[in-house]
Structure 1
């Protein structure tokens, strides 16, 4: 009886040890991670403007490794992991090695609020995202009591007395303006609502970026993000391409440089031949004697005089094109790049 019990015990022990060894050896041999099939997987992401990114993964023994990653312009560092995880779920779980195209947006509701109140109201924007579309649900402002700016009858009456549209009119008008324009860049001005229009563009650009790059669905932003920003015209105009470099620290805007360069990188303000040619041409046209070394500082002075508001600033006589280019460049930075902290060079199309 005892021998039979001992024999059974030893047999069970040997069987357990043998099976255990097999399990360990099998695990070490495969080293696999449950759920991911071995192979090479690729994915890409692209927005309507042509900004794109791509990723290539290699899965061996179930372990994924990033073999190649090209980030889209303006994407945060976290977007690499985002693309990796979406590709693994969409393709590597099933072993489908066909190319995967990530959705343009991550579906959901995105809310962005302005930290700095305008007229005691902090404006905010709510939009919903599907995989390929964004829809503005609400654009308004709230005061500390939670009351809506659009419902402030006293403010609307005050503005109507000044022959301006009140928030009950211009807030929905801004949204309609955007929907009809189809893009922030093509939006028209809204009388009496310059600041709210700028806020709308900032809030929308931030919400759009969050939806594109799978970032926070709720965010509160300041007026500007500290940094150094550059904008340039897309094409050369009569051999010159205007550009602006400005810096922002604690919401203080400083123009570091405004000039133009030729295809060799020579600055217009340093070109004596151009200066002489422009003086002669203006004289023949009956225009004031002016040239880049003279009118560039004048343009910057008008910008300061207008409270650093490109919409309110005047033009410099004899330098209308350069003044308008400055407005487009500085305005583009202040209405978009500096609002979302995008320090990539902003390329601007002429009017």
Structure 2
């Protein structure tokens, strides 16, 4: 039993010496969890509408303390209508996938506001394309906000042709 007691005392003393000599250096070596964002408004959107006529956009306002405050994610059509407010579109999508834009767009925004990091926001079942759009847009805006670049980011639209349709020449 004596060797275990001796080992315990040596461990306690070593740990105490480490804490005594390391002091504040231990805290200074820990990296910051998330880079502070620069205050401003950051925008991301597709360069053109998809084959259904919707164009995704994302706007993020960062406050003076470097936190994402106001966030908007939605899709707009050529008439200026928003997908989250299109009652018929929401009804059709809910009947097929169980969730509509008026459900998932606010959830994405809420989760980003809570986590303050786009990598922490999960996708939503039934909204696969929109989940990818949101994450891509939020990451792009987040990168710009880290350096303070408030230029609008235009991402090439990946859905110019309906799935299964042949491209027109």
Structure 1 length-normalised TM: 0.33
Q: 1:142, 1:128 → 2: CA distance? A: 19
Partner of 1:217: 151
Partner of 1:106: 38
Q: 2:138, 2:131 → 1: CA distance? A: 11
Deviation of the 1:166 alpha carbon: 1.2
SS in structure 1 at match of 2:126: coil
Deviation of the 1:148 alpha carbon: 0.6
Structure with bigger RCO (C-alpha 8 Å, 6+ apart): 2
Q: 1:204, 1:48 → 2: CA distance? A: 18
Preserved contact between residue 129 and residue 135 of structure 1 (Cα < 8 Å): yes
The 1:213–1:145 alpha-carbon spacing in structure 2 relative to 1, beyond 3 Å, is same
1:36-58 CA distance string (max 9 Å, x none): xxxxxxxxxx96347xxxxxxxx
SS in structure 2 at match of 1:205: helix
Deviation of the 1:219 alpha carbon: 2.6
Q: 1:116, 1:108 → 2: CA distance? A: 25
Q: 1:205, 1:156 → 2: CA distance? A: 26
Structure 2 length-normalised TM: 0.63
1:141-164 CA distance string (max 9 Å, x none): 101111111111111111122252
Deviation of the 1:105 alpha carbon: 3.1
Q: Which has the higher strand share?
A: 1
Q: 1:173, 1:128 → 2: CA distance? A: 17
CA RMSD in angstroms comes to: 2.6
The gaps in structure 2 that reach 5 residues or longer are: 1-30, 159-169
1:202-253 CA distance string (max 9 Å, x none): 11111111122122332322258xxxxxxxxxxxxxxxxxxxxxxxxxxxxx
Deviation of the 1:180 alpha carbon: 4.1
The 1:216–1:163 alpha-carbon spacing in structure 2 relative to 1, beyond 3 Å, is closer
The 1:137–1:222 alpha-carbon spacing in structure 2 relative to 1, beyond 3 Å, is same
1:78-135 CA distance string (max 9 Å, x none): xxxxxxxxxxxxxxxxxxxxxxxxxx33321122112253442111111111342122
Partner of 1:207: 141
Deviation of the 1:185 alpha carbon: 2.6
Aligned length: 127
Higher radius of gyration, 1 or 2: 1
* Aligned 1:156-175 pairs, distance under 5 A: 156-175=90-109
- Aligned structure 1 segments of 4 or more residues deviating by more than 6 angstroms: none
The 1:142–1:116 alpha-carbon spacing in structure 2 relative to 1, beyond 3 Å, is same
Q: 2:131 aligns with which of 197, 210, 218?
A: 197
Partner of 1:184: 118
Q: 1:202, 1:215 → 2: CA distance? A: 17
The gaps in structure 1 that reach 5 residues or longer are: 1-45, 51-103, 225-351
